Structure 1
């Protein structure tokens, strides 16, 4: 009954409106909409959509994986563009059942992911020509960035979080692994897919040359001293040499229009650390 009441809140005839009211869910999706020149169609965003700066003026409907129907309905969308994994499933089902088009933009963690996302967003917005041009431009930028990234014999551990002594790190089949590979280095963690907590033994065995982290502030910030104080991380070459790289999370892991620049940035910073890491 709650779902029926929410559906009743939807305006009638939204599908017939000529100008779409687009809700973008996912930082990379939002960046692509703006890169296509369609930012004026946006009426809302999720918490991860903070770039470009004008996106922050849009109504925030919540975290991309914990969306409520009420939050979505508050912006009265006629089209929802969502990154893979947006949800929960019951919210997606409700919106689809209410007749609001929910288009999932494909994900992935390699160079082909970015142009594929661009084409998907452009097709949804009816901007195929602009999408073709942007995808071609980004494909060339990605190729150039990869060509400029030297193969670097560095083992990089991406630390997602360090809380109460527990280290959450990125394995294979993750955005972090994809970016480490594109920048010419190697993921120090090869024994599992996804993000998992590491034992002290696993950290010592991985022996990363470099630790890569998202730049965070406040209570979530992890300093070099925090890394060195950890009984296992502190014994790694990365912590001992203070070979630590911090980058904005969406810039590094978003696989959107800024990914070519992020590859160049990460590759350059890895290269600068080679004497210390070696």
Structure 2
């Protein structure tokens, strides 16, 4: 090679090196505003502790599962996540030692994760911690996808997934418009020793009922609270909704034989629907599909219409 050729090669190498350094610097300067209103600066984390079923589901949908070093007990989808990733426990009862012992470069957790003492220890250890906002709405769901994608440096894949979910939500609105008679629904979180805890406003259960075209009969308080027999009877639910809990899943005979529900319209028709908790309440990519399934339970006349609703979020490939 001539001297001129050697010089040119060195210049190209220097240029390429500068480009790599520039890209690396850009990766280190990503700033994320999290649920605490903090600006968190991250690079390109390859060791992520993922806390929250929807967070983990989104990372897998984006093809970023190779960066996950651990998950929590709510991260049940996809099923292979629980089989191939270590578990750091329940999202609200995290151990600082268990998380930090994995040498994470980032802890990506849904808002509400804790306890506060664990969050404080992780912060003190200078491990970037991003709390993902949890807003039970269509917009909140899409924002969650976009934020997780930005954190992973996969904005284009995030747009792909958000677009698919947006399409599903539009199809869901069309399905809801064809519902002839909105059903009155009560979501039962727990039923133990005659004590019934139900979902009020500003809950995932309240929003999924609305997305499916139903009416939450509990509209006089926020969150989850114990409701007495008289109030349940006065609410007159047409259908009881709950989560699947394996052997502890509520059974029709069990709930409608109780004084709490015996006089409700739901008892007359034995209308009890139990669905997978993460699918129903996770507010991740599959939420529109869950609302579609619930809509058919509320109004069986929608079955043929729902059959033509093929959720894009379940078929799209946003992993590349």
- TM-score, structure 2 length as denominator? 0.78
CA distance 1:273–1:231, change in 2 (3 Å): farther
Q: Which residue of 2 aligns with 1:122?
A: 149
Q: What is the correspondence of 1:164-243 to structure 2 with a 5 Å cutoff?
A: 164-218=193-247, 220-243=248-271
Q: What is the correspondence of 1:2-13 to structure 2 with a 5 Å cutoff?
A: none
Q: What is the correspondence of 1:1-278 to structure 2 with a 5 Å cutoff?
A: 20-56=46-82, 57-149=84-176, 150-151=178-179, 152-218=181-247, 220-272=248-300
CA distance 1:239–1:71, change in 2 (3 Å): farther
Does the CA-based 8 Å contact 2:42-2:128 persist in structure 1? no
1:17-45 alpha-carbon deviations (Å, 9 max, x no partner): 96520111000000000111101111100
- For structure 1, the residue ranges without an aligned partner over 5 or more in a row are 1-14
Does the CA-based 8 Å contact 2:45-2:106 persist in structure 1? no
Three-state SS of the structure 2 residue aligned to 1:54 is: helix
1:158 and 1:178 mapped to 2: Cα distance? 11
2:147 and 2:253 mapped to 1: Cα distance? 44
2:274 and 2:169 mapped to 1: Cα distance? 21
C-alpha RMSD over aligned residues: 1.7
- Cα drift, residue 74 of structure 1: 3.1
1:246 and 1:21 mapped to 2: Cα distance? 36
1:168 and 1:40 mapped to 2: Cα distance? 39
Moved more, 106-115 or 161-170: 106-115
1:183-228 alpha-carbon deviations (Å, 9 max, x no partner): 111001111010000011110110100000101222x222111112
Count of residue pairs brought into register by the alignment: 259
CA distance 1:82–1:262, change in 2 (3 Å): same
CA distance 1:18–1:236, change in 2 (3 Å): closer
2:55 and 2:193 mapped to 1: Cα distance? 34
Three-state SS of the structure 1 residue aligned to 2:198 is: strand
- TM-score, structure 1 length as denominator? 0.89
CA distance 1:238–1:43, change in 2 (3 Å): same
* Higher radius of gyration, 1 or 2: 2
Does the CA-based 8 Å contact 2:238-2:265 persist in structure 1? yes
Q: Which residue of 1 aligns with 2:307?
A: none
Three-state SS of the structure 1 residue aligned to 2:188 is: strand
Q: Which residue of 1 aligns with 2:30?
A: none
- Cα drift, residue 130 of structure 1: 1.4
